[in-house]
Amino acid sequence: MSGLRADLRVDRGEVVVEARIDAPPGVTALLGPNGSGKTTLLLALAGLLRAERAIVEVDGRTWAGDGVDLTPERRSVGLVLADPVLFGHLSLLDNVAFGPRSRGVPRRAARDRAREELERVGLGDLLRRRPAQVSSGQAQRAALARALATDPDLLLLDEPLSALDPQTRSRTRADLATRLRDYPGVTLLTTHDPLDALTLADRLLFLEAGRITQTGTPAEVVARPRTAYVASLVGLNLLTGTLVHEDGWSVALGGDSQRPAGHLVLAEAPQGAAAGEQVWASVNPAAVALFSERPQTSARNLWLLRVESVTVTGQRARVHLTGDVDLVAEVTLGAVAALDVQRGRELWAAVKATEIHAYPA
C-alpha cells in the first residue's frame, strides 16, 4: 500500500507508546487525551525520538527497520508544531525558503518555491514581513508553507491550531483544509478537537494511554465508537454490557444477565451479535428526554437519575446524569430552567428503544 506504514514502541517513562499505523495518502487525524502519546508518536516518525522498536515505511521506502535508521534530515518529513517556530530575524519569504535551502536548493530557486507556497496559503502579499509583523494565524500558515516547500512525502502537524483564538482558528482551519486537499502525500494531524478532525481528516485514529483504540473514517467512528473517550469526542453516550434475549432484546449493563446494574431495552437484535455476548450501545444525547416527575411515556427505557453536572454551549445544555445508567442528555436552555436542573437534583430520563444503536463489542 502506498502511504505510511509504521510499527513503533517508544518508552518515555511517563508514557509507553506502542502503535501500528497504516495511513494512505490524504489526511489522518490522530486524536487522544493529553498525555496519550500523540506528540511522542509524531517525533518518533520524524526520527527526532529514539524508539525501542521502529519500522517506518513511506511510499515503499524504508526509513527505519531491517537495519535502517535514517536521521531526521534524511527523512522526507515536513513538521509543523503548535508554536510556528519561525526565525524572527527573517522575512516570511526567507523563513519558508530556509527548508529548500537546507536541502541544497539554490537561493533563487528556493525563494521562488517559497513564494509559490506562501501564495498558496494566502500570504502572497506578506512576503517581506517578519513574524512579529503578522498575526498568529498568518504565522501558522507560514509554518505550513515552510513545511510543504520541501515537498515532503510525510507531513506531520502537531496540534497546529491549538494556540489560536476561536475566530483565527476557524479561518486558519479553512485555509488549512484548502491547502491539504492539494497535497499528494500522507498528512498525520494530531488534535484533541473533534471539529478539527471531522473537518480536515479522511480517516481518524485514536490513541489512548499509548495504544491505538480505534481507526476508521469519520462516518464509521460516529456510527460505532468503541471506547468512552471516542464516544464523548463524537458527542454520543456509549454503554457496554451483555446481550439478553428474554421477551425481547435488551442489554444488561455493569453486571451479568441475572443481576444487572441496569439495562437497556432494544427495538431489535443487534446485527452480528448473539445472546450472552458483549455489545456496545450508543445513544445520542438529544434522544434522552428529561422529566421532573415520572412520565406517562411510550419510551421503554426509563430511569430515575441524579444530575452530576451541567455544561452550556450556545443555546443548548448537556446534562450529565448518574445512577443505574450514566447518561448525558442534551436539552435547550429553556428546558434547564423549566426542570430546575442543578447538581444533585433527581430527574426521570427516558429513551425510546428505537434510539439505541447496539453492535458487537
Taking all residues of the chain, what is their mean pLDDT, rounded to a whole number? 92
Give the integer Cα–Cα distance in Å for 253 and 278: 10
**Is residue 85 predicted with pLDDT exceeding 80?**
yes
Give the integer Cα–Cα distance in Å for 46 and 6: 12
**pLDDT digit string, tens, across residues 18-58:** 999 999 999 999 999 989 999 999 999 999 999 999 999 99
H or E element that contains 335:
helix 333-338
Do 348 and 361 meet the contact criterion of CB atoms below 8 Å apart? no
User: Tell me, what's the pLDDT at 13?
Assistant: 83
| Least confident piece of the model among 217-231, 256-270, 306-320 | 256-270
User: Tell me, what's the pLDDT at 44?
Assistant: 96
User: Tell me, what's the pLDDT at 128?
Assistant: 95
- How far apart are the two ends of the chain, measured CA to CA in Å? 28
Neighbours of 20 (CB within 10 A): 11
Work out the pLDDT band at 262, boundaries 50, 70, 90: confident
Fold exhibited by the domain 235-360: OB fold (Dihydrolipoamide Acetyltransferase, E2P) (2.40.50)
CATH 3.40.50.300 in the chain, residue ranges: 4-226
Give the integer Cα–Cα distance in Å for 144 and 156: 10
Return the higher-pLDDT residue of 338 and 258.
Answer: 338
Do 288 and 330 meet the contact criterion of CB atoms below 8 Å apart? yes
Tell me what the mean pLDDT of segment 119-126 comes to. Answer: 92
Work out the pLDDT band at 259, boundaries 50, 70, 90: very low
For the record, the C-alpha cell of 91 comes out as 522575512
Fold exhibited by the domain 4-226: Rossmann fold (3.40.50)
User: Tell me, what's the pLDDT at 175?
Assistant: 85
Give the integer Cα–Cα distance in Å for 40 and 340: 45
CATH 2.40.50.100 in the chain, residue ranges: 235-360
**pLDDT digit string, tens, across residues 198-209:** 889 999 999 999
Q: What is the pTM of this model?
A: 0.84
Tell me what the mean pLDDT of segment 203-226 comes to. Answer: 94
Q: State residue 52 phi and psi, 5-degree precision.
A: -70, -35
Do 192 and 203 meet the contact criterion of CB atoms below 8 Å apart? no
User: Tell me, what's the pLDDT at 2?
Assistant: 81
251 to 43, 270, 272, 303, 327: CA distances (angstroms): 42, 10, 15, 15, 15
Residue 178 sits at the vertex; the CA angle it makes with 89 and 102, to the nearest 5 degrees, is 35
**pLDDT digit string, tens, across residues 335-358:** 999 999 999 999 999 999 999 999
For the record, the C-alpha cell of 7 comes out as 510499527
Give the integer Cα–Cα distance in Å for 49 and 42: 9
Do 27 and 75 meet the contact criterion of CB atoms below 8 Å apart? no
Pairing relationship of beta strands 346-351 and 301-313 according to DSSP bridges? antiparallel
**pLDDT digit string, tens, across residues 158-184:** 998 888 888 888 888 888 888 899 999
User: Tell me, what's the pLDDT at 255?
Assistant: 52
State the helix-helix crossing angle for 92-102 and 107-120, rounded to 10 degrees: 120
**Is residue 260 predicted with pLDDT exceeding 70?**
no
Pairing relationship of beta strands 203-208 and 26-31 according to DSSP bridges? parallel
Q: What does the DSSP assignment read for 215-227?
A: EE-HHHHHHS--S
Tell me what the mean pLDDT of segment 102-120 comes to. Answer: 93
